[in-house]
Amino acid sequence: MRQARPAARRRLVLGALSTASIAALGGLGLVPGAMAADKKIVLGFSQIGAESEWRTANSASIKSAAKEAGIELKFADAQQKQENQIKALRAFIAQKVDVIALSPVVETGWGTVLREAKAAGIPVILTDRTVQETDQSLWVTFMGSDFVEEGRRAARWLVDNVKSRPAGKEIRIVELQGTVGAAPALDRKKGFEEGIKADARLKIVRSQTGDFNRAKGKEVMEAFLKAEGRHIDVLYAHNDDMAIGAIQAIEEAGLKPAKDILVISIDGVKGAFQAMVAGKLNVTVECSPLLGPQLMQTVKDLKAGKTVPRRIVTEEGVFPAEVAARELPKRKY
Ligand code: GZL
């Protein structure tokens, strides 16, 4: 082999040394660049629970997207209890995960644990729902739907579909709210109340939480029917699961859902499309749970040092019964 000139030989030796030292230091985890290249990103995700078809689809989307992205997912189901979510976040901090994602069951009570994550240098992504905290530096982005707009869209469908009813005759609405204190419950109520101002005949006569699940939705609707009898014209449910439970109560009371009582709900899960095809639900306002791919891309962007937008809004539609049969085969959740 031809001998290298002294200067070139020195460069070769230095090159070999630096490679060896990088390998040695890397073993100690001290070299940020090279070692990070093949180290798996670890994401800690605190999920609310499994209270609805929407939530089940949301969890499936996040788990499959993490697998697809080669991200190690630590998934914690809180059974809809805030204290379990806070415990999960503290465990993620102790395990020194790279990123934390949180779908907060309610809007308040997060400041302390989010400050602990910040102190530990772990970025937090809010997914699905947001929090009410004055210090906005406690999370890097919120990705999810505009719940106020979803409430407005539900009201817009109603205003458009009662025009032919007798002028001056009150149109009595009962409302099944989502989980008390949850962002989608607060905002869907706000948007709907804003939207029905367009028609003075529209009045919410009863409003109570069904906690986003079918059983409670049915139970509360039974109470509404007992109290209001045949004087209910419309049901507005903050999610499809409560609407589906309420539909059972309406039928058991001998009334026709979607005819005697208009039924309006939100999410756009398969169960809602099936209820529309069966002629028992009038309209569902879409709220996509398929946040997994967006979440994983944001995690990767964060770890690559890219800036991510403070707010990522999911685009959604409105699906009345007339399109349900055509749309049902295309639905992904
Ligand atoms: C909305 C989500 C809500 C759904 C419910 O993004 O937080 O929680 O509308 C679910 O079905 O329980």
Measured distance CA(25)–CA(255) in Å, rounded:
74
Contact 271, 247 (CB under 8 A): no
Measured distance CA(323)–CA(277) in Å, rounded:
9
pLDDT for 13 equals 45
Q: What is the CATH number of the domain that holds 218?
A: 3.40.50.2300
Specify whether 122 is located in the same domain as 181.
no
Specify whether 153 is located in the same domain as 269.
yes
Closest listed residue to residue 271, CA positions, set 241, 291, 246:
241
Site to probe by mutation for ligand 1, drawn from 58, 102, 106, 128 as the one with most ligand atoms within 8 Å of Cβ, is: 128
Distance 314 CA to ligand 1 centre (A): 13
pLDDT for 207 equals 98
Ligand 1: does its nearest atom lie under 6 Å from the Cβ of 53?
no
Beta strands in 133-291 (DSSP E): 141-144, 171-177, 202-209, 234-237, 262-267, 283-286
Band (pLDDT 50/70/90 cuts) for residue 201 is: very high
Higher per-residue confidence, 14 vs 324: 324
Nearest CA to ligand 1 atom 6: 128
Measured distance CA(129)–CA(261) in Å, rounded:
30
Length of the chain: 333
Report the relative pairing of strands 171-177 and 262-267 from DSSP bridges. Answer: unpaired
pLDDT tens per residue across span 42-66: 999 999 999 999 999 999 999 999 9
Specify whether 277 is located in the same domain as 159.
yes
The pTM for the full model equals: 0.88
Mean pLDDT of the 149-175 span: 97
Specify whether 155 is located in the same domain as 280.
yes
Looking at the predicted structure, is the pLDDT value of residue 11 above 50?
no
Measured distance CA(125)–CA(139) in Å, rounded:
6
Q: Give the residue carrying structure tokens 């989307």.
A: 61
Q: Look at the alpha carbons of 227, 230, 233, 236 in this order and tell me if their dihedral is positive or negative.
A: positive
Band (pLDDT 50/70/90 cuts) for residue 36 is: low
In-domain check, residue 88: yes
Specify whether 179 is located in the same domain as 139.
no
Q: Residue 270 forms beta bridges with which residues? A: none
In-domain check, residue 105: yes
Range of the domain at 233: 147-287
The residues near 192 (Cβ < 8 Å, ≥ 6 apart) are 151, 152, 154, 155, 175, 236
Specify whether 75 is located in the same domain as 65.
yes
pLDDT for 28 equals 41
In-domain check, residue 8: no
Specify whether 280 is located in the same domain as 168.
yes
pLDDT for 73 equals 98
Locate the ligand 1 atom nearest the alpha carbon of residue 129 and give its number: 7
Looking at the predicted structure, is the pLDDT value of residue 23 above 50?
no
Distance 54 CA to ligand 1 centre (A): 6
The residues near 52 (Cβ < 8 Å, ≥ 6 apart) are 212, 213, 214, 239, 240, 241, 267, 269
Distance 47 CA to ligand 1 centre (A): 12
Mean pLDDT of the 283-308 span: 96
Q: First CA to last CA across the chain, in angstroms?
A: 65
Distance 142 CA to ligand 1 centre (A): 15
In-domain check, residue 299: yes
Site to probe by mutation for ligand 1, drawn from 267, 286, 315 as the one with most ligand atoms within 8 Å of Cβ, is: 267
pLDDT for 278 equals 98
Specify whether 180 is located in the same domain as 298.
no
pLDDT tens per residue across span 225-273: 999 978 999 999 999 999 999 999 999 999 999 999 999 999 999 999 9
pLDDT for 2 equals 41
Contact 283, 319 (CB under 8 A): yes
In-domain check, residue 268: yes
Residue 308 CB neighbour total at 10 angstroms:
16
Looking at the predicted structure, is the pLDDT value of residue 281 above 80?
yes
How many folded domains does the chain comprise? 2
In-domain check, residue 320: no
pLDDT for 37 equals 58
Higher per-residue confidence, 231 vs 8: 231
Measured distance CA(231)–CA(29) in Å, rounded:
69
pLDDT for 299 equals 98
Distance 67 CA to ligand 1 centre (A): 23
Looking at the predicted structure, is the pLDDT value of residue 312 above 60?
yes
Ligand 1: does its nearest atom lie under 6 Å from the Cβ of 51?
yes
